[in-house]
C-alpha cells in the first residue's frame, strides 16, 4: 500500500457488473478507497456530494454516456478539476480527440491490465498532488519540480530575465535539448522563431495582473521542427510577495491540432460534397437526352451534309465532356466507384513516365525510384491514371524555371503511430506512389484549401480547381489516403497510399460493336420526359419495342398488362410518387424472374444497397451512351444470361 492510495478515493462509473468487480479488486488490493456508480446521472450526484480524487469513467452507458457525463462534470466549477480517465474497449482518433477536448486526462483500454490501470491512476494522482505542492510552496520550487519528471509534459522555470533555471525530463523529450545544454540560456531565443517572439512577450501584463496565463504557442525543437504547445504559466513570488520566477507547463498538442484540422476539413468537404451530388443528379438528367439526340440524329438523317454532321459530333463530344466533369464531381463528393480489378501500379507509372519525357519541358529533369517488388493494388485503372496525371502536372507547374521531378513507388507498412496522424489511414501494408518536385512549394494558407473543389491558384482559364478534390475522392474510394509534405521554395512531395494486394489478374475490354435487338418488348421507366423520348427512339432504331412510364406506379400498371411480353425493365432509381427501389421490389413480387436494369444520375453501382444488387441484373449511370445502353441490354437478354454487374 502506498501513501497516495491510502489517501485517495477513486470513483468507478460503469454499467457492467463484471467490470466493476474487476476494478474493485484491483484498486482495493492496492489500498485505494473505492466508490461506484452504475450510470452517469448517479455519478454526477455523488461527485457533487463527495468529490473523489479521480474518476474512472466508461464511455458506452445507457441514457447518459461517458462523453456527456464528462462534459457536465467539467462545466461545473466544483468538479472541474477532478482528473477523469475514460475506459473503453475500442477507440479511434476522432473519439480520442473528442474525449481529450472535453477535459479527460487519459484512457484505459479493455480488457484491463492490472499494472496499466494502477500506473495511469498513480501518475495522474501524483501529478495532481505535486502541482498543488508547487503552487503552495514556491520557496522549494526547484526541489519539488524535480519530482515532475514522471510526466510527459515539459515543465520549466524561467527567471524574470528569461533565463532557464529548471528543465525536466519531459522538456528534454519534447524539445531535444538536455538539461545541461539549456541552463541559464535565454528561453525565447531557444524555443521561438523570430516571427513568433511576440507571443511570449505579450503575456507579461496578463501574468502580472492575474498571476496565471494559458494559451497555445508555436515553438521549435532542437532539430528545427515546428510544434504547437498548450502553455500554462504561473507567476511565482518570494516571501515578500514580489515576482520571482515563472513556472511553465507545456503540453505538446501538435498531433491534436493536425487531427482537428483534418477533421474540420473533412466536415467542410462533406458539406460541399452533399451540395455537389444534388447538382450532379440534375445535370446528368439534362445531359442524357442531349447525348441521346446527338447520337440519334445521324441515324435518322443519314444524308445530312458534312458540316451538320460535324456540329452533331461537337454536341456529342461536349455532352461526354460534361458527363466526365460530373463524374469528377461525384468522385469528389461521394467517392464514385469505377470498375475495380487487381492491377500493377508499375504499368501505370511506366505510361506516365513516357508521357512526361515526351511532353514536359527539357528544363525539368525526370527521375524514377520504383521498387522492383512493388505489390499490386485493387482499383480502377482509369481513375488512378487520372490521379497520378494530376499530381505530375501540378509538379510540372510548380517548376516554371525547371527542376527535378521524381516519380517513386515503394511498399510501406503503416503502423499504429503513423495511422494516428492521418484520419483515413489504417494499419496494414500499402503500395505508396510519390510525386516530388523541387519547385515553389505550397504556402500554409493555400495548403489548407487545396482539396476544396473549384479552388485553384492558377490563372483564370488554366485550371478548374477540381483536380486535387477529385483525386482525394478517388483515393478514398480505393480505401487509401493522401499525404503532403511541402516547404516554401524547396518543393513538395505528395504520396498516394493504396492498400496492397496479394494476387494479380487482368480483364479484357468488351466489344465496341453496337448489337441489334430482335423485337423484344422493353419497359422504360423515368420521370424525365426528354430521357424517355430519346431513349425510346434509340432503342426502336435498334429493333426493340418500347413501353414508357414516368413513375413506379405507372410502371407496375403497365407491367401487369404486359407481364408475359416484357423481356426487360429499365428502371430509374430516383423518381417522385413511387421511387425505383419500391417499384423494383413490387415487380419482383409479381414476377421473381423479371430482368431489371437500374438507372440513376446520382447513385453509383457501388452505392446500391445489397438488396438492390440482388434484384437487378445491371446498373447504368446517367448520362449513358448508346454503346453502354445497347451492350448492357444485349448481355442481359443473351441466352447465356451474363450479368453486367
Cα–Cα nearest to 425, from 345, 484, 479: 479
The region of weakest confidence among 17-31, 456-470, 522-536, 627-641 is 456-470
CATH number, domain 3-135: 3.40.50.2300
Q: Kindly state the average pLDDT of the residues 4-17.
A: 86
Give the separation between CA 267 and CA 255, rounded to whole angstroms.
18
The region of weakest confidence among 64-73, 495-504, 536-545 is 495-504
Contacts from 632-635 at CB under 8 Å and sequence distance 24+?
Answer: 632/597, 633/517, 633/522, 633/539, 633/544, 633/568, 633/597, 634/515, 634/517
Helix H or strand E segment including 367: strand 364-370
pLDDT for residue 511: 40
pLDDT for residue 330: 60
CATH number, domain 341-499: 3.30.565.10
CB 370 within 8 A of CB 346: yes
Give the separation between CA 32 and CA 117, rounded to whole angstroms.
12
- Cite the beta strand spans of 371-463 per DSSP E: 377-379, 403-414, 428-437
User: Does the pLDDT of residue 291 top 70, yes or no?
Assistant: yes
In the chain, where the domains are located: 3-135, 149-252, 258-334, 341-499, 521-637
pLDDT for residue 196: 66
User: Does the pLDDT of residue 454 top 70, yes or no?
Assistant: no
Helix H or strand E segment including 296: helix 254-300
Residue 462 banded pLDDT, cuts 50, 70, 90 = very low
Q: Which CATH architecture has domain 521-637?
A: 3-Layer(aba) Sandwich (3.40)
* C-alpha of 175 from chain center: 30
May I ask the CATH class of domain 149-252? alpha beta
* Tens digits of residue pLDDT in 164-173: 998 888 899 8
Q: Kindly state the average pLDDT of the residues 488-516.
A: 70
The reply to whether 3-135 and 521-637 are identical in fold is yes
* Tens digits of residue pLDDT in 387-427: 888 889 889 988 989 999 999 999 988 887 777 777 778 88
Task: Say what percent of the chain tops pLDDT 70.
Answer: 80
pLDDT for residue 619: 84
pLDDT for residue 242: 85
Amino acid at each position: 500500500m502506498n501513501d497516495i492510495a491510502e489517501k485517495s478515493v477513486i470513483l468507478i462509473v460503469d454499467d457492467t457488473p463484471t467490470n466493476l468487480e474487476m476494478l474493485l479488486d484491483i484498486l482495493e488490493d492496492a489500498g485505494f478507497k473505492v466508490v461506484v456508480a452504475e450510470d452517469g446521472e448517479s455519478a454526477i450526484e455523488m461527485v457533487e456530494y463527495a468529490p473523489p480524487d479521480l474518476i474512472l469513467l466508461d464511455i458506452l452507458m445507457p441514457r447518459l454516456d461517458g462523453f456527456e457525463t464528462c462534459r457536465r462534470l467539467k462545466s461545473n466549477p466544483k468538479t472541474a478539476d477532478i482528473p477523469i480517465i475514460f475506459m473503453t474497449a475500442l477507440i479511434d482518433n476522432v473519439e480520442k480527440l473528442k474525449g481529450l477536448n472535453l477535459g479527460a486526462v487519459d484512457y484505459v483500454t479493455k480488457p484491463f491490465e492490472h499494472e496499466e490501470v494502477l500506473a495511469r491512476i498513480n501518475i495522474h494522482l501524483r501529478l495532481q498532488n505535486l502541482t498543488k505542492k508547487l503552487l503552495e510552496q514556491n520557496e522549494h520550487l526547484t526541489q519539488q519540480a524535480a519530482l515532475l519528471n514522471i510526466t510527459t509534459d515539459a515543465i520549466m522555470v524561467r527567471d524574470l530575465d528569461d533565463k532557464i533555471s529548471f528543465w525536466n525530463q519531459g522538456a528534454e523529450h519534447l524539445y531535444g535539448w538536455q538539461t545541461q545544454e539549456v541552463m541559464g540560456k535565454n528561453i525565447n531565443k531557444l524555443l521561438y522563431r523570430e516571427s513568433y517572439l511576440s507571443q511570449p512577450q505579450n503575456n507579461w501584463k496578463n501574468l502580472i495582473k492575474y498571476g496565471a496565463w494559458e494559451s497555445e504557442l508555436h515553438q521549435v525543437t532542437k532539430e528545427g521542427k515546428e510544434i504547437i504547445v498548450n502553455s500554462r504559466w504561473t507567476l511565482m513570488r518570494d516571501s515578500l510577495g514580489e515576482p520571482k520566477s515563472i513556472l511553465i507547463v507545456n503540453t505538446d498538442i501538435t498531433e491534436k491540432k493536425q487531427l482537428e484540422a483534418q477533421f474540420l476539413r473533412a466536415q467542410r468537404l462533406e458539406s460541399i460534397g452533399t451540395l455537389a451530388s444534388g447538382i450532379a443528379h440534375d445535370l446528368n438528367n439534362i445531359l442524357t437526352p442531349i447525348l441521346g439526340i446527338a447520337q440519334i440524329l445521324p441515324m435518322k438523317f443519314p444524308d445530312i451534309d458534312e458540316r451538320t454532321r460535324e456540329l452533331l459530333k461537337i454536341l456529342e463530344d461536349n455532352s461526354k465532356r460534361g458527363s466526365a466533369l460530373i463524374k469528377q464531381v461525384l468522385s469528389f463528393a461521394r467517392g464514385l466507384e469505377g470498375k475495380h480489378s487487381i492491377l500493377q501500379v508499375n504499368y501505370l507509372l511506366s505510361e506516365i513516365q513516357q508521357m512526361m519525357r515526351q511532353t514536359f519541358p527539357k528544363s525539368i529533369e525526370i527521375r524514377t525510384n520504383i521498387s522492383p517488388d512493388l505489390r499490386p493494388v485493387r482499383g480502377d485503372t482509369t481513375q488512378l491514371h487520372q490521379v497520378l496525371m494530376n499530381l505530375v502536372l501540378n509538379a510540372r507547374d510548380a517548376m516554371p524555371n525547371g527542376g527535378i521531378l521524381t516519380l517513386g513507388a515503394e511498399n510501406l507498412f503503416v503502423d499504429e503511430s503513423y495511422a494516428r496522424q492521418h484520419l483515413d489511414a489504417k494499419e496494414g501494408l500499402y503500395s505508396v506512389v510519390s510525386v516530388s518536385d523541387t519547385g515553389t512549394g505550397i504556402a500554409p494558407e493555400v495548403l489548407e484549401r487545396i482539396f476544396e473543389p473549384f479552388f485553384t491558384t492558377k490563372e483564370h482559364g488554366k485550371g478548374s480547381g477540381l483536380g486535387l478534390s477529385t483525386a482525394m475522392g478517388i483515393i478514398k474510394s480505393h480505401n487509401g489516403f493522401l499525404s503532403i509534405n511541402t516547404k516554401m521554395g524547396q518543393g513538395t512531395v505528395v504520396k498516394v497510399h493504396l492498400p496492397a494486394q496479394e494476387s494479380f489478374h487482368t480483364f479484357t475490354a468488351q466489344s465496341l460493336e453496337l448489337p441489334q435487338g430482335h423485337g423484344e418488348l422493353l419497359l422504360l421507366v423515368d420521370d424525365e420526359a426528354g430521357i424517355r423520348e430519346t431513349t425510346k427512339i434509340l432503342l426502336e432504331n435498334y429493333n426493340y419495342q418500347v413501353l414508357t412510364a414516368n413513375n413506379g406506379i405507372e410502371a407496375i400498371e403497365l407491367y401487369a398488362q404486359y407481364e408475359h411480353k416484357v423481356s426487360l425493365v429499365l428502371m430509374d432509381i430516383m423518381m417522385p410518387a413511387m421511387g425505383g427501389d419500391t417499384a423494383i421490389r413490387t415487380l419482383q413480387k409479381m414476377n421473381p424472374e423479371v430482368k431489371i436494369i437500374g438507372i440513376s444520375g446520382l447513385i453509383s453501382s457501388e452505392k446500391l444497397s445489397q438488396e438492390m444488387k440482388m434484384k437487378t441484373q445491371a446498373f447504368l449511370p446517367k448520362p449513358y451512351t448508346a454503346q453502354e445502353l445497347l451492350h448492357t441490354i444485349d448481355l442481359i437478354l443473351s441466352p447465356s444470361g451474363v450479368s453486367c454487374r
